[in-house]
Each structure stands twice: as structure tokens, then as C-alpha cells.
A = this chain, B = another copy of it.
Amino acid sequence: MTTDLTAFAHSVFEAQPFSRFLAAELTDVGPDSAEIRVRNRPELQQQHGFLHGGVISYLADNALTFAGGLALGGDALTAEYKINYSRPAIGETAVARAFALTTTRRQAVCQCTVHMLGDGEERLVAVAQGTIVVAAKD
């Protein structure tokens, strides 16, 4: 992966007001992968004190987009995805790791896991799969 593509990914991420609003961080990028983290804090939670599913979905969606965009080599967007929540999201930090499984000229099929970190452990809380497409110029 070129330095340019890494820099492009970070510049896109920094240009997302919603990612800053959540205080999310793009913590790793590769030729066809991306990792995004967010620290758990009260305003990101639901009624039982777990990280809200909407935050988990944001992480999965955005990590899928970046993994797919990197695999496709440029500006991309999530066309669709599905997510399975496997366990309540308890812990200090949520980390989403996505990678492109298969890529054609116009789209990448990507998968993502979301773990909660805390007490020296990682617990899988969600799994996602989706389609990332090259952003249309028209």
C-alpha cells in the first residue's frame, strides 16, 4: 500500500464530523483492512449501561467502508451490511477490525469483528459482513 493511500484514509476519517463527535480513532490501516476504536463512556451507552448497538453499528459500518475503500484504492461507501450482535458490549474500549475478502473493479465484500477490550481480555461482541462500492462520480 502506498503512503498516499494511508494518508488518504486518515484524511477522510479526520474529515468525518460524526467520528470526531464519538471520539473514534482510525488506529490501523492496511492494503485491504482497517481498525477503528472508540472508548466506552456514559453518553455512548444504552439503558443497561452497555455500549449502544448504534455505536457498534457505526464502528462496523465505518471499518467496513475503510477496509473496502483501501482494497478498492480510493473513495468508497458502504452499499449494505448485516451485523450480528453476539454479547452485551461491556468493557473499556470497542475495536472494530475489518478486511476485504474479495474485490472486483467496482466492489469489495468485507467482513468485520467488533471486540470489547478490558481487564486484559478481548470479547467478541459483534460480527458484520457487507458490500463496499466505489463512490460514483455521476
Contact = CB atoms under 8 A, between A and B. Distances in A.
A80 B131 contact: yes
Contacts of A82: 80-83, 129
A85 to B, nearest CB: 6
Contacts of A83: 80-82
Interface residues of A, number: 49
A45 B65 contact: no
A5 interface: no
Interface in A102-138: 102, 104-105, 107, 109, 111, 124, 127, 129-131, 138
B61 A54 contact: yes
A53 B79 contact: no
A43 B16 contact: no
In the A-B complex, list the 3 residue pairs whose CB atoms are closest, starting with the nearest: A54-B58, A82-B82, A18-B52
7 contacts: A16-B46, A17-B46, A54-B59, A80-B84, A84-B130, A86-B101, A86-B102
